[in-house]
Chains A and B, each alone.
Chain A
Amino acid sequence: MRVGVITFPGSLDDHDALAAATRGGAEGVGLWHGDTDLSGVDAVVLPGGFSYGDYLRTGAIAQHAPIMAAVRAFAADGGPVLGICNGFQILCEAGLLPGALLRNSGLRFVSRPVFVTVERRDTPFTRGFDHPGPWSVPLKSGEGCYHADPATLDRLEAEDRVVFRYLPGDNPNGSARNIAGVSNEAGNVVGLMPHPEHAVDDDLAGGDDFLAMFAGLASDVPEHESLSR
């Protein structure tokens, strides 16, 4: 299993995402925003950070990077794509995931561990979890308030596409319906605001609750398995 992690200008957690993929048992492969192909990887991670300084809007500039054409094609072909934090924002801007991320309702950057439940365990990124949780994972973002219009939200719920949810009463940023992460229709593209790559090592402050995400990803997968149910 080769997991590609894209470095955009201003990506910060690319290094951590590569380390997490490796720790999960996959081979981490660095990908560059200016490249036009994905070096034959089996999964793609768009890591956290402040691509292009978050200038204009979070993710707005990065979604036009040369490599994104290859990401779109890979995603359309059923390839597993994970967007973490800024990566989630990029996927929303790129139209690969529904909705948008707004400024936190508290107007401050929020950096703390949160608990999330894994609402759907049949995506390439959640099949490693043996129960829904709650699982602890660091969150660190200023624009993490998930927004979509009510019809879209209803559809997401109906189609079981809410993948991660904050605990009721512990919604850190005002996200609609406590949504922390969603998937596309086919389930192969997943985005979430918290940082699973910071929760893969029990010796570190973030703990290791999300090692299951990377271990599950690295486990034997049929190539570009179809996830639609």
Chain B
Amino acid sequence: MTQTPVTTFPADETLTDERARELGHELGLRRDEYDQVVEALGRVPTVSELGMYSVMWSEHCSYKSSKVHLRRLEATSPRILAGPGENAGVVDVGDGLAVAFKVESHNHPSFVEPYQGAATGVGGILRDIFTMGARPIAVMDSLRFGDPTVDGLGPRSRAFQRAIVDGVVRGVGGYGNCVGVPNIGGETVFDDRYATNPLVNVLAIGVMPVERLQLATAEQVGDVAILLGSSTGRDGIGGASVLASQEFDEGLEDKRPNVQVGDPFREKSLIECCLELYDRDLLAGIQDMGAAGIACSTAELASAASMGMDVDLDAVHLREPSMASWEILCSESQERMLALAHPDGVDEVLAVAARWDVPASVIGEVVAGDRLRLHRRGELVADLPARSLADEGPTYDRPRERPAWQDGYGIVVAEDLPIPGLADDGDLAGFVAKFLASPSLAAADWVHGQYDSWVRGGTVLGPGQGDAGVVRLPGSARGIACALDGNGRWCELDPAEGTRRVVAEAFRNVACVGATPIASTNCLNFGNPERPEIMWQLATSIEALGEATRTLGIPVTGGNVSLYNESRVGGSDDPRDTHIWPTPVIGVLGVIDDAAMAVGQAFVQEGDVVFLLGDETRPGLAGSALQAYLDLPLGGRLAPVDLDLEARLAVVLGEAARAGLLHSAHDISDGGLVAALADSAVLGDIGVQIVPTERKDPAQLLFSESPSRVLVTTPSDSVRELARLCADAEVPLADVGTVGGTTIDVQGLLTLSLEDVRDAHLRGVPTAVDPSLVTTATGEVVT
């Protein structure tokens, strides 16, 4: 390929084909991808162009490995106002209101620099939400770390893990608290599989009047491009591709300069500024700047409008004037947006920005045609078809192969476990108390006690108060509920069934608070897609995700894929040991007509009747928390979840909540019955007496994680009505006990003092993760 450039570029931008190919390779472009760039341009790329293509065509930006599979998630619903491909999904929730929500990962950056990685993860997903026109009203976080209770070597050392946990939690809180968006829940999981690759997934929710939805459809030739927000510096140059698409190795320190630094104070001003611009109808389009900042936002806005754009890089406010054009284009400096305004409105836009003290610069103009042309110091430095950069990147249907190790899981005997205290008439209560103190099962108060969950005055159920978070919408009695769930162990065991179960759980959690689930989002955290086994896990999981969300009527409105989540730091040669558990994290959104009727987890009143709604207890120790706690090899078979039963169960829970029949509802999941009882009893500060009605293996009764089961409590005068609702919906119910007393009692098996359980439950996490201090439940520091 020796075509000569059709335009002349400055000398420092011009490359020979050979040099460009070499540089492209270093930037992560494959040989055939480089050829595709040359074909799109009809010549050898300039330095700036090469930088832009390498970032935009990275896995992180282009979804090149997952795109062919994600198509299977497509779904339509009259409620969906914006679906996959937009910055966030948007659904109509009635009363003229629309809700935007999405979850995104910041896994790799959070390993490299936990505080800033997590903080900028929050900032990034919030920008996705307000880019759509919505005011952010809640965030949730799904965190997975290594196991801080065991002290291994290097990154597996306790100190290393604690530093990651500490930094990530401070980062999520530091950003969210300062930007003024309440955290309403999530999950915190500790598992050695995430020791060198923590998962930091953050979901954000926003609300807007339906008519404020910002879709890039109003653009016209002559519209002015305005860069709003922070100055552009060298943060995270190439970070998206370098940090998000390369496996980690030992050279962590070297990658630090690529870390972006967040400024939540600036983000808060930016939110208020953008919302005012929307309300005054001053914008024709807007795009947030994430990975590949200016390159990506200009290309996407131009491509979406099927137009071109001329951009003057000299107008960009820079932190360091010496920055090269490619650095300006690829910078990931945070808290920046690109807005398009009609020329007549530009002065007004700048005035609004000035009022909020948000720096703003006019940097370009929408032009006819399809070219994105970028200028620096009066000279053209890049000239390319916008669409080729934004939408025409490579896609791969990578080879898939069911891993040989799957067979091994099926032959493990998982359902008959030697539980200390059960088999030998020993101290079962002592064992259960210790089990409940394991950090993944213990109360996460230490985590969300560092997050503001009240700001903006809508929080009905905050973190840990219900199976889902519930926020009342401004100016309305209506509320939204949201749950965020994952379970890597289930999905490793069986990506299809595991994914179905996770979807069912998130769906069920939303139903438990009394809301009607209406839509879903997801964050797919997987290993290296170039390995056929991993690709098989991903494709299998996506297929199950599509099927389950369609069956349950919670269409996928968008999502995020995070690949290359693996590391060789562990030193094991076993192929199984180099990837994280495949971890699709599912967010389900629900609507509740009267938010004040939302049902929490806490037991409320002495004498309330405890019912088990839904399925009976089935063998459910495969992949369970108990299996992990006993340090047994992962294995067994997951009992299939009955999605039709889940749907009926949700109907009953919704109707019962609306009728005010329920005092509490909590599904049985991780840790089984004992964990569910402990959550509700500790939160309500009241005991419970369970009289099992099923003749089952005691281990299954106490610890099974089989799906479709919900514990509800109801005052005795509501029992008949609840029974009628269940009968109408053909949902089994069993009277299993009574709320009251100062013990958690499972007749014939177990008696635990509430005080012991509370202590175990509340101290489990801080004891495991707080490096030098133990903070008690009241915040007092024990030194």
Contact = CB atoms under 8 A, between A and B. Distances in A.
Tell me if chains A and B make direct contact, with any CB pair below 8 A: yes
Interface of A: 9-10, 12-13, 15-16, 19-20, 48-50, 52-55, 104-112, 138, 140, 142, 169-173, 195, 197-198, 201, 203-206
A205 B472 CA distance: 11
B449 A112 contact: yes
Main secondary structure of the interface of A (DSSP, over half): loop
A205 B459 contact: yes
Given A9-B357, A54-B265, 4 more contacts: A13-B455, A16-B455, A197-B457, A204-B459
B462 A205 contact: yes
A138 B462 CA distance: 12
A171 B180 contact: no
A173 B472 contact: no
A140 B460 contact: no
Contact of B456 (A16, A50, A108, A111): A16
A171 B780 CA distance: 7
Given A12-B455, A50-B177, A112-B449, A170 B269 contact: no
A118 to B, nearest CB: 20
A15 B454 CA distance: 12
B460 A106 contact: no
Contact of B596 (A52, A138, A203): A203
A112 B450 CA distance: 8
Interface range on chain B (Cβ under 8 Å from partner): 35 or more
A34 to B, nearest CB: 8
Contacts of A169: 778, 780
Interface in B445-475: 445, 448-462, 465, 472
Given A10-B268, A53-B178, A140-B177, A19 B457 contact: yes
7 contacts: A10-B265, A106-B775, A106-B779, A106-B781, A107-B773, A198-B455, A204-B459
Given A49-B180, A110-B779, A205 B173 contact: no
B263 interface: yes
Contact of B449 (A50, A111, A203): A111
Contact of B461 (A15, A106, A171, A205): A205
Interface in B749-783: 773, 775, 778-781
Interface in B328-385: 356-357
Nearest to A52: B265
Nearest to A202: B596
A12 B457 contact: no
Contact of B178 (A50, A198, A204): A50
B650 interface: no
Interface string B145-178: 0000000000000000000000000100110011
Interface string B245-270: 00000000000000000011110110
A228 to B, nearest CB: 34
A201 B779 contact: no
B595 interface: yes
Contact of A109 (B177, B263, B595, B778): B177
A48 to B, nearest CB: 8
A201 B457 contact: yes
Contacts of B595: 203
Contacts of A53: 178, 263-266
Closest 9 A-B residue pairs measured CB to CB?
A53-B265, A12-B180, A203-B596, A172-B779, A16-B457, A198-B454, A106-B781, A50-B178, A140-B452
Contacts of A138: 454
B450 A108 contact: yes
A177 to B, nearest CB: 16
A213 B449 CA distance: 25
A85 B462 CA distance: 20
Contacts of A205: 453-454, 459-462, 465
Contact of A198 (B174, B445, B457, B781): B457
A109 B450 contact: yes
A106 B465 CA distance: 24
A138 B456 CA distance: 13
Most-contacted residue by chain B among A10, A13, A20, A171 (CB, 10 A): A10
A198 B596 CA distance: 16
Nearest to A48: B455
A14 to B, nearest CB: 9
B476 to A, nearest CB: 12
Contacts of B456: 12, 15-16
Contact of A111 (B265, B268, B450, B460): B450
Given A10-B268, A53-B264, A171-B780, A206 B173 contact: no
